[in-house]
Amino acid sequence: MVLIEYNGKKPIISENAYVSPQATLIGDIKVNDNVIIWPGAIIRAESSQISISEYTTIFDGVILLTRSSKSSIHIGRYCILDSGVTILGCFMEDYVQIMEGTMIFEETSIGEGSVILNNSQVPPGLVIPARSVMRGVPVELIREQTRNDVLEQKERAHYYSNLFTKIKNHMPNAQGYMLSFSDFMKFMLEK
């Protein structure tokens, strides 16, 4: 993986996290236990801190970028950021899912258990209440989630994190990107 120090600050990554060798991390970044960062993710904390909490999964091609001192990024526990998501500044609570191609602008706040659907845009400074399902450009409320919906999101995030624990236990020297599709499916289906 590419780890770059910027303005005297460098990424701090838990020994219990998985960061793909094809990911890039720059500056004041903290990656906590059981976080999974997939290939092609670019995380740039050049202007303010980026903190990624436990059991969060950041998929391929996600971009986290702080553009000003007011645009820090905090990702809560058990969050899932799907492929192609871009976040420029956000306080994200626990159990949030941001779906493919979504753009989140500075100084936003996303409440616990919320979902932002594919290809949406969250405008600067928007506060999204807990358990909201949002969609559109700009986002609008579609519906509210139940407690069971939020618990299912938590289970999905936990599942992705455990997948790499299984891989690490069975193949301690293998990186996730090196697995064949059949090996990957075997680990996914294993209980």
pLDDT band at residue 177 under the 50/70/90 scheme:
very low
Query: What pLDDT score does 68 carry?
Result: 87
165 against 177, higher pLDDT: 165
Query: What pLDDT score does 82 carry?
Result: 95
Interval 24-77: pLDDT, tens: 999 999 999 999 998 899 999 989 999 999 999 999 999 999 998 888 999 999
Query: What pLDDT score does 171 carry?
Result: 60
49 against 188, higher pLDDT: 49
Q: What is the average pLDDT score of the chain?
A: 88
CATH superfamily of the 2-147 domain: Hexapeptide repeat proteins (2.160.10.10)
Tokens standing for 184?
């990957």
Specify the amino acid at residue 104: I
**Structural domain spans, the chain:** 2-147
| Interval 120-138 mean pLDDT | 97
pTM for the structure as a whole: 0.86
| Nearest-angstrom CA–CA distance, 38 and 8 | 26
Query: What pLDDT score does 27 carry?
Result: 95
